[in-house]
Structure 1
Amino acid sequence: MATPAGLPPPAFGPASLSPAADFSFSAGANGSSDWQCLDSVWYRKLDVFDMEWKHERQLFDLFVVAAAPYGGPVACVRNEKVFQPAKKNIKPELQIFSARGRLLAKSPWTYSRLVTMSWNNDEVLVCVFQDGVVRTFSPQCEKLHFFSLDERIKVEGGLVQAAVGGCGIVALTAALNFYYNDAFDRSQTIVLPDTGLRGPPLSLCILPAAPCAGSDPNEKTFSWFSPSTTKLEELRIVVAAESGALLLLDRHKCVDLKLDDGPFVALSVSRSGRLLACLSSTGQLRVLSTAGIPRAIASPFLERQMRPKQVQWCGDDCLALYIPMHTPSGDVQHTLFLGGPKNEWLPFQYGTTRGGSVLLLVSEVDGLRIVTNSKTEFLHRVAASTDAVFSVGSCEPPAMLCYAVERYRAHDAAADESLRSIKQDLAEAAEACIDAATYEWQFEQAAALLQAAVFGRQFLDGGARQSCRSFVRACRDLRICYAVRQPPLEMPISVAQLRHMSLATLVRHIANRRQHLLAYRICQYVGLPARAVLASWAMEKIQHSVSLTDEELSAVVCRRLALASSESPLVLGSPPALHKEGKEKLASVLPLAKVALCAAQAGRPVLATRLTEFEVVTKEQVKMLLKLAELNIAMEKAVGSGDPDLVMQCLYSALAHEQQATGEESDLSLLIEVLHDRPLAQDLFALYCRETGQRNMLQLYYERSNRACDAGWTALTVASRQRSGEEKKKTLRRAARGFADCQTSQDLAAFAHASVLSQIDLLNYQ
């Protein structure tokens, strides 16, 4: 029997294989005793890690809490509607924690009348206030954007409800009018159609624009949803009216979905956007598919007719309802109910308190994250591959393969018998072990399953043995997940979540947390372009390096970027010292014009100009130089590129600056400086003046730039189009002066001068 090849550990950096070698599959099967069955499907709850905010006993009672999905941060701010006990620090603060409860940042909170607070798809904290103002914050509590949705909101009495979706904000005014803003950095508000509401709705939510592309439609899983490729409308809002109607609102119309059992007091959309749960005041649950026009596909019933504090989806499989129930002793029993299919429910007890809440539920694409004061748990459906390996008494091929691995390590001949019994299913067994490894949160279990897959693949035929794409992908994703779960990121993300959100999105989130080195290494590891990561690092460096001069900061930024762009570092002291090859390498790493704009916004125009010099894309370079008001340099770059459109863009900018600086009576000094010794730009300016009928400006330009002969010919053309005799004589005198200044060097000018004087005499005689 051949010895299986060694397996590199699924973690960043070298590590020993001994933990995986010591792992026992029979011991792992004992963990299945904690699984719970719901309609023939197993669920398990895993401890992710202990929380570091254990001193925050009343966090969920006294604060408005918003947790980002995919292992994102948790934001907390004082709840104005709840009485706050006096503490040492009575000034409210915005606090942002990691998913493990470690404080990332905090800042003073001087705002009031918060309507809603939530994270968007880019992990930006969006806060909507009653007066229609929107404020956004980064995971480091930095203020990003501040704007008002619409001035009409104040006239209509302010906001009473709002909802934040992945790509926009829905707001409801006191006049029961809906507004939608499809941006988080500026106001782009539209008024939605009238819904006919007679009072504020009981609940509202935004349906995602389209089904997420990261899911696998061929995956055989238990779910209410049948995979579909139907694309959804651009904007859809579900409104639960107080009258009992369930309304579907988009940009053009409002439709009543004609659902019974209303009114619905809670709405919840699954993380994938495929399912919508509607909970009525009588305990009736309606599950709707969001593809096309939402339609009911299940109607479970909750026996306890009380409004849950939280309703969240556990993947696309079932619903989780957090219900605090009062006991005869006056305490509150905190219970989490999981279920829905065929009206079966699993209870999970979380102890008793004197009141308040102790749970925060965060829906994920593959399960449910349960956050308490002491720990974080992950509740999810047991995958078929995991069930085949770890279920008690399993004789499935994956379980037999794992048993063969254990017998092989024990030098037992029974290993050969186990392998022979699954010879026909050995390839499927190895694939099942690989798939099961992606669902494991413990390194030892995942490594052991991957080693079992490698062991089984040694006995396959050549073609099947060489096919290892799924194995490589599993190792890659596991290594990334284990890396981001460690401090300082502490993102409890699973492989399924990683594949759903995409590697590029994860890298962007890591860069937003200012962990640029890890983000850059992940890009190198998976082959992603690191332009966005390097740009983020450069902008952060510029914004926070207050003590460095422009020259020092330029050298630091360019040197680091050059090290990332080539094996041989380039010495970048100043723009003239950078060779063309070095510029091309550096510009291929990141958009330097974007970094230069950041420098300009940070009050470093000299640094911005230096960085713009490195940009090899002339269009972006000229655009940035115009923003910096470096018209002379911009014109030089535009003329050097030979692009007339860029030259005209510089001309427009120069004319605009000229008018702003001197008003309508301009001396064209700035324009003369920009056009000096640039024949192409001068010709285009002359063509522009002729085509737009601004020959007077062209004549003034010729006169101020000492081009007397051209000024004379232009004045002569202007005079030929004037009807007033006095104006014509005045213009002809200017033409004569121009020809007089150059008649000694040009015979044609001398003839023109004499002709113009004759024309003036003729006009005087007339």
Structure 2
Amino acid sequence: MSVKDQIPFAQMLTPSTTFASSDDVVIWGKKKHELEGKLEEWNKELIYPLKRSHRSDEYIRLVKDQLNVAVRQCIEAAGYEFDPSNQMMLIRAAQFGKSFVPDIDSEPYVKMCRTLRVLNAVRNLRIGVPLTITQYPLSATFHTRLQHLSFQVLLDRLVVRRHFYLAIQIAKYLRMPDVEGSSRILAHWACYKVKQTQLDREQVARDIADKLGYAPGVSYSEIAKKAADCGRTQLAIKLIDYEPRASLQVPLLLKLGEDIPSLVKAIDSGDTDLVYIVLLHLRDNMPMAEFQMTIRNYPMAQSLYLKYCRDHNIETLRDIYDQEDNHNAKAAFYLKESYDPKNSTTKAASLESAKQSYRSARNEFAATMCEEQQKLLKYQTTLEDKFRREFVGLSVHDTVHLLLMLNEVKLAEKLRAEYKVPDRRYWWLRILSLAALSDWSELDKFSKTKKSPIGYE
């Protein structure tokens, strides 16, 4: 084997090889042509075994000891070639050689074939990206290569040049995840599409929806924002309809001034947080009367707003009940207010308002109960002034029990008769209070006054 044939294939074919003088350039060119001639002979006599050339075994013997290296260098050298015919020649030589190497790793060969297809595609005159192998992001197998570009950068360059279809095909060919590959490219295409103001918005919206569908990683809200930034508000609204996530739909609709559609979307989503966001936005940007008339058409929204008012704005809640003529709800509001410890000085007024509201609602039973509660409150206030004990807020049961504990039997009997406390309950209260006071003699007398309604043990 001559010295010329021992020079590594990749070194002879690599365009980045440096030379000391012009003579070296001539020598390198000669070696390159000689190697190409040798490879052509390989292709003719080795790769096509049907011819059964007698020189096949001779060529294999020449590089038998370094056949693995020869295959690897043929694969690498193919990457440095810009001429597809030379690439094919080197790849075929590598394909033939690796069949004689046991346990050879085929991964570099497969990756180089994929790489060459991508490189040849972007080097096309219509594309105009003369990418070299040193700029292409290869795997760690070719550890001497400079990985200047990532696949995403390569695709981004194609997107900038508006070669969307080629970028998608490359992403699919390289089996890139949809989020990083085809879906991302389609999103860029859609953003470019909405900027074409001369196109009909209906057609643009349909085209984008047909192409993108529900591809993973694609956000219609981002595309709609681009359309809105270009002044195409109606197109943005149509694109938002394709966004499956209400959390992205609603804020953008509010930004575009579509208040009612945003409220409908929030309600349909079932997300109460979104509904509250829309309600508070409407409350701050609409006249109060118009706002209340608007939410009346949406029961869920109105219920949530009433709940919000109960927790944060009591006065507004009362105004809403007044406007709605909801007397039962207003009465319940006053009752709740009367039981609030913070409103101890206005309990009587709150009960009176509740009674009037129930009567306006023609709920006589509830109005009567409010009246009874007013009487009890008045009586408890008198007892507080007399005994300096807390009576206000207690039930009839607890009030009678406290009077018995204070040994005010006559007052307890009077209260019992006025509010018609059952005998069984009163006997239990009397017995428990006497037992608590350890007044056993009085308990004995009480047990003999009349037949016990609760029996004996």
Q: Normalising by structure 2, report the TM-score.
A: 0.61
- Mapped to 2, the partners of 1:391 and 1:735 lie a distance apart of 109
Counterpart CA distance in 1 for 2:155 and 2:13 is 37
- The 1-side partners of 2:85 and 2:154 are apart by 24
SS in 1 for 2:128: coil
* Distance (Å, rounded) in 2 between the aligned partners of 1:597 and 1:655: 23
Among candidates 219, 222, 226, match of residue 594 of structure 1: 222
Q: For 1:214-242, what per-residue CA distance to the aligned partner results, in whole angstroms no more than 9, with x for missing partners?
A: xxxxxxxxxxxxxxxxxxxxxxxxxxxxx
Q: Distance in 2 between matches of 1:409 and 1:518?
A: 33
Q: What residue is the counterpart of 1:510 in the other structure?
A: 158
Q: Assess if the C-alpha contact under 8 Å between 1:438 and 1:495 holds in 2.
A: yes
- The offset of 1:544, in angstroms, is 1.0
Aligned equivalent of 1:700: 319
1:534–1:589 contact (8 Å) kept in structure 2: no
**How far, CA to CA, are the matches of 2:40 and 2:206 in structure 1?**
56
Secondary structure at the counterpart of residue 423 of structure 1 = coil
Cα distance in 2 for partners of 1:587, 1:635 equals 27
Partner of 1:486: 124
- What is the CA-CA distance between 1:682 and the residue it aligns to? 4.8
Alpha-carbon distance between aligned partners in 2 of 1:711 and 1:592, rounded to the nearest angstrom: 45
The structure-2 alpha-carbon separation of the partners of 1:520 and 1:695, relative to structure 1 and needing over 3 Å to count, comes to same
Give the equivalent residue in structure 2 for 1:552: 203
Look up the SS of the partner of 2:80 in the other structure.
Answer: coil
- Is the counterpart of residue 495 in structure 1 residue 116 in structure 2? no
Give 1:682-761 correspondences, 5 Å limit: 682-691=302-311, 693-705=312-324, 707-718=326-337, 720=340, 738-741=357-360, 743-744=361-362, 746=363, 749-751=366-368
Q: Which 5+ residue runs of structure 2 have no aligned equivalent?
A: 23-27, 138-146, 380-457
The correspondence of residues 329-478 of structure 1 with structure 2, limited to 5 A, is: 392=31, 404-405=42-43, 408=46, 413-461=54-102, 463-464=103-104, 467-478=105-116
* 647 and 609 in structure 1: CA distance in 2 versus 1, 3 angstrom threshold: farther
Residue 47 of structure 2 contacts residue 93 of structure 2 at CA under 8 Å; is this kept in 1? no
For residues 540-564 of structure 1, give each alpha carbon's deviation from its aligned partner in whole angstroms, at most 9, with x where no partner exists. 111113341x3333223223335xx
Aligned to 1:605: 233
Separation (CA, whole Å) in 1 of partners of 2:375 and 2:153: 78
**SS of the residue aligned with 2:82?**
coil
**CA deviation map 1:354-384 (0-9, x unaligned):** xxxxxxxxxxxxxxxxxxxxxxxxxxxxxxx
Q: CA deviation at 1:701?
A: 3.7
Partners in 2 of 1:657 and 1:759 — Cα distance?
45
Relative to 1, partners in 2 of residues 1:443 and 1:723: Cα closer, same or farther, differing over 3 Å?
Answer: same
By percentage of residues, which structure has more strand? 1
Match of 1:616 in 2: 244
Q: Which amino acid aligns with 1:441?
A: F
Matched, 1:538 2:214: no
CA contact (8 A) 1:426 1:456 kept: yes
Over 3 Å counting, the alpha-carbon distance change for 1:670 and 1:752 in structure 2 is farther
- Measure the CA separation in 1 of the matches of 2:94 and 2:14: 25
Aligned-partner residue type, residue 560 of structure 1: K
SS of the residue 1:43 aligns to: coil
- CA distance 1:483–1:408, shift in 2 (3 Å): same
Q: For residue 18 of structure 2, what is the aligned residue in structure 1?
A: 43
The 3-state SS of whatever aligns with 2:18 is strand
Aligned residues of 1:539 and 1:599 also touching (Cα < 8 A): yes
CA distance in 2, matches of 1:440, 1:510: 22
**What amino acid does structure 2 have at the position aligned with 1:443?**
P
Q: Which has the larger radius of gyration?
A: 2
Instruction: Name the counterpart of 2:279.
Output: 654
Q: Is the CA contact 2:13–2:80 (under 8 Å) kept in the aligned structure 1?
A: no
Alpha-carbon distance change, 678 to 469 in structure 1, aligned in 2, over 3 angstroms: farther
The separation in 1 between residues aligned to 2:284 and 2:197, in whole angstroms, is 37
- How far residue 657 of structure 1 moved from its aligned partner, in angstroms, is 3.3
Q: Which amino acid aligns with 1:476?
A: R
- Give the direction of change, closer, same or farther, for the CA distance of 1:533–1:739 in structure 2 (3 Å limit): farther
Question: C-alpha distance in 2, partners of 1:495/1:705?
Answer: 76
Cα 1:694–1:453 shift into 2, 3 Å: same
Output the CA distance in 2 between the equivalents of 1:631 and 1:709: 32
Q: Find the aligned partners of 1:487 and 1:651 in 2 and give their Cα distance.
A: 57
**Matched residue SS, 2:244:** coil
Q: How many residues align?
A: 350
Over residues 447-490 of structure 1, what are the superposed CA-to-partner deviations in whole Å (9 max), with x where a residue is unaligned?
A: 221121112133344x53xx532222212222222222234431
Unaligned runs of 5+ in 1: 1-24, 37-41, 45-345, 349-388, 563-585
2:159 counterpart SS class: helix
Partner secondary structure for residue 131 of structure 2: coil
Using the alignment, how far apart are the partners of 2:129 and 2:58 within structure 1? 43
Cα 1:524–1:751, aligned 2, differ >3 Å: closer, same or farther?
Answer: farther
Q: Distance in 2 between matches of 1:414 and 1:649?
A: 79
CA contact (8 A) 1:695 1:714 kept: no
Corresponding residue for 2:446? none
Identity %: 23
Q: How far off is 1:753 after superposition?
A: 6.9
Q: Which amino acid aligns with 2:211?
A: R
| Shift, 1:436, TM fit | 1.9
SS at match of 1:497: coil
**SS in structure 1 opposite 2:331?**
helix
Distance in 1 (CA, whole Å) between partners of 2:31 and 2:372 is 112
Contact kept in structure 1, 2:47 and 2:92, CA below 8 Å: no
Letter of the 1:697 counterpart: T
Shift of 1:403: 6.3
Q: 1:393 to 1:637 in 2, by over 3 A?
A: closer
Richer in helix (by share): 2
Q: Which amino acid aligns with 1:537?
A: W
Change (3 A) 1:670 1:527: farther
Query: What's 2:454 paired with?
Result: none
| Partner of residue 92, structure 1 | none
Q: Which amino acid aligns with 1:514?
A: R
- Larger RCO (CA under 8 A, 6+ residues apart): 1
Cα distance, 1:401–1:708 mapped onto 2, change above 3 Å: farther
How big is the alpha-carbon RMSD for the aligned residues of Structure 1 and Structure 2?
4.6
Amino acid at match of 2:238: R
- The equivalent residue for 1:248 is none
